[in-house]
Amino acid sequence: MRAQKVFANRFTLCLVVVLSAIQSSAQVTFERLLNAGKEPQNWLTYSGDYSGRRFSLLDQINVKDVHSLVAKWAYQTGATGKLETSPLIVDGILYATAQDDRAFALDARTGRPIWMYQHQLPNDIRPCCGHVNRGLAILGDKVFLGTLDAHVIALDTKTGDVMWDAVAADYQKGYSFTVAPLAVKNLVVIGVSGGEYGVRGFIEAYDATTGERKWRFYTVPGPGEPGHETWEGDSWKVGGAPAWNTGTYDAATNQIFWPTGNPAPSNRGEGRAGDNLYSNSLLAVNADTGKMNWYFQFTKHDEHDWDATQVPVMIDSADNHWIAQANRNGFFYVLDRATGKLILANAYGKITWSDSKDAEGRPIAKKEASPTLEGHTVCPGALGTTNFMAPTYDPQTQLFYVTARDQCDIFSTAPQPYEAGHAYYGSAYFPSEEAEPYRGFLKAIDPATGKIKWKFEHTSPTWSGVLSTAGGLVFTGDAEGNFVALDATSGKTLWHFQMGGAVYAPPVAFAVDGKEYVAIAAGSAVYAFGLP
């Protein structure tokens, strides 16, 4: 009898061990990525799911109890500089990145590290704006990292060991990766950085299992390709149009929506006459082939460094399938996802570069907005009304929330010949002495009208992303180091915590053992918060 009971107990224990082993080793399949909404305890892509909404269905932390939120843990990455990472969370493990291409896995309940991978970077990399990285993608038993020396690397999810390492381009010519890749089907999709070095931009996809490149789409068309005629002479060869922020995926049409950045040189249009396709555009490309279905160019022939690399967000209602973007040029755009046709474009910040629209409703640049040798003031400034800060769309409030700034700069041209691997701006920008102080906001935009429903003013402009949750909350960080929860309907602040360092990253939400957490990077650490 006793032996039987012991056996039964042992059997139960074994079952639990086996079941939990199955649970913890359950790999992230494409099916799971497609249905990320069914497992809100996990955060499976850069934006949480393929829609780009950065919305969590978790509601344990909500408008009623958020006032009691406490810090659960902090993980010091040991890196200095800006942390722009958006963590992934899969079945209790948090995967994130830090400066200089460091990747790590933590116990998401405690913040204790499981593994750390440090990519060995050469000392002559060519980053644009800090040695930053915005996060990983996950598929199967691998996480994927794009590096500052233009490698795409697959790491084992359990150990951080390198599974494959593909060289995408020559970093000495200014190519680099800072973007969080996007895993689609069995592909790792990634876009290159380097618009400050006159690279020829591209979006490409690797076989997640082998690391073999499956397709590459050049965002600057070569001779004979449509759009090539929008470049003067040989300027296309160093045309820029990088693709340094994560796009989204629409399974219904099998399209990847990926945004592109500035033409090079960034602030000097002389020598590259034409629209400069497909810079500053949203591209819809076939996920299997990388062939472009449509494009929409937000800023033609850009001379202000207004990369259109903001996360494109899919918004669905009974009748409409939209894709929306709060653009760096100061306009909020809504497009039809099937065709790329413009539905609306409304200014959501201070702009002076356009005062008219074309027949399709697209803002037209004023001639006098072009930079001059002497320099003159244009709004927004070079850093834009928004930038890489991840926005969020809350299907409950039906509002789009974005970090915005009002800022104007003096733009001045400076002729600069192209030299491989050397900075290629062709200009300078600097704050006007007479300009008003820069102001930073969190703005809630109604995508149906483009109108601002409410705005919350930060003490100074922030680079934080935004998260919305089914708890009726919007989370964001500020330059003063606060992590803040606001009422998604009214914009009223409900809770805050001082993290001791400025925020350059977006928040995420997840749950372990039935307990909800929100996490965000600030200063050089990652923090997680939960109810007591």
Partner 1 sequence: MRSFFLRQCFVFLLLFLCWIPRSIADDRNPFANDPKAAKAGEYEFRINCALCHGLGAHGGGRGPDLTRAQKKHVHSDAEMFEVISNGIPGTIMPANGTNGQGVGMTDEEIWQIITYIRSVEVKATQASGNAAHGKELFYGDANCSLCHMVEGKGGRLGPELTGVGGSRTRAAIIDSVRNPSRRLAWGLAESTKEFPQEYETITVVTSDGKEIKGVALNEDNFSVQMMDASEQIHLLEKNNLRSFKKSRESMMPTYSADILSNKDLDDIVAFLTSVGAK
Determine if 148 is a binding residue for partner 1 (CB under 8 A).
Answer: no
x/- mask, partner 1, residues 116-135, rule CB under 8 A, reads: --------xxxxxxxx----
Question: Nearest 5 degrees, angle CA 401-CA 74-CA 47?
Answer: 30
| Contact between residue 283 and residue 226 where contact means Cβ atoms under 8 Å apart | no
> Binding to partner 1 (CB under 8 A): which residues in 81-100?
81-82
| Contact between residue 381 and residue 423 where contact means Cβ atoms under 8 Å apart | no
Answer for which of 17, 237, 459, 492 binds partner 1 (CB under 8 A) is 459
Answer for which of 196, 275, 303, 307 binds partner 1 (CB under 8 A) is 196
The piece of 292-300, 308-316, 324-332, 419-427 that touches partner 1 (CB under 8 A) is: 419-427
The piece of 151-159, 178-186, 497-505, 511-519 that touches partner 1 (CB under 8 A) is: 497-505
Cβ burial of 422 (10 Å; 0-12, 13-18, 19+) is middle
> Binding to partner 1 (CB under 8 A): which residues in 161-190?
174
Residues 6+ positions from 259 with CB-CB distance below 8 Å: 243, 245, 247, 281, 282, 283, 307, 308, 309, 310, 311, 312, 325
| Contact between residue 239 and residue 271 where contact means Cβ atoms under 8 Å apart | no
Answer for which of 62, 118, 396, 460 binds partner 1 (CB under 8 A) is 460
Asked about 49 being catalytic, the answer comes back as no
Determine if 395 is a binding residue for partner 1 (CB under 8 A).
Answer: no
The piece of 6-14, 153-161, 235-243, 418-426 that touches partner 1 (CB under 8 A) is: 418-426
200: DSSP letter:
B
- Compare residues 414 and 448 and give the one whose CB is closer to partner 1: 414
Answer for which of 59, 336, 480, 487 binds partner 1 (CB under 8 A) is 480
> Binding to partner 1 (CB under 8 A): which residues in 421-450?
421-423, 425, 427-431, 433, 437-438
Answer for which of 351, 502, 512, 521 binds partner 1 (CB under 8 A) is 502
> Binding to partner 1 (CB under 8 A): which residues in 14-43?
none
Distance CA 16, CA 388 (A): 44
Determine if 160 is a binding residue for partner 1 (CB under 8 A).
Answer: no
C-beta atoms surrounding 29 within 10 Å = 12
Determine if 321 is a binding residue for partner 1 (CB under 8 A).
Answer: no
Which of 305, 307, 394, 409 is flagged as catalytic?
305
Taking the CA of residue 194 as centre, how many other CA atoms within 13 Å lie in the half-sphere pointing to its CB? 32
Site size toward partner 1, by CB under 8 A:
48
Least separation in angstroms between residue 523's CB and partner 1 is: 6
Determine if 505 is a binding residue for partner 1 (CB under 8 A).
Answer: no
| Contact between residue 491 and residue 458 where contact means Cβ atoms under 8 Å apart | no
CA-based nearest residue to 402, from 339, 467, 307: 467
- Compare residues 62 and 416 and give the one whose CB is closer to partner 1: 416
Provide the residue type at 452 as one letter: I
**DSSP letter string over 233-285?**
TTGGGG-B----S--EEETTTTEEEEE---BSSTT--TT--S--TTTTEEEEE
Distance CA 421, CA 126 (A): 7
Q: Which residues bind partner 1 (CB under 8 A)?
A: 81-82, 124-131, 174, 196-197, 375, 410, 412, 414-416, 421-423, 425, 427-431, 433, 437-438, 458-461, 463, 478-482, 484, 493, 496, 498, 501-502, 523
Residues serving a catalytic function are 305
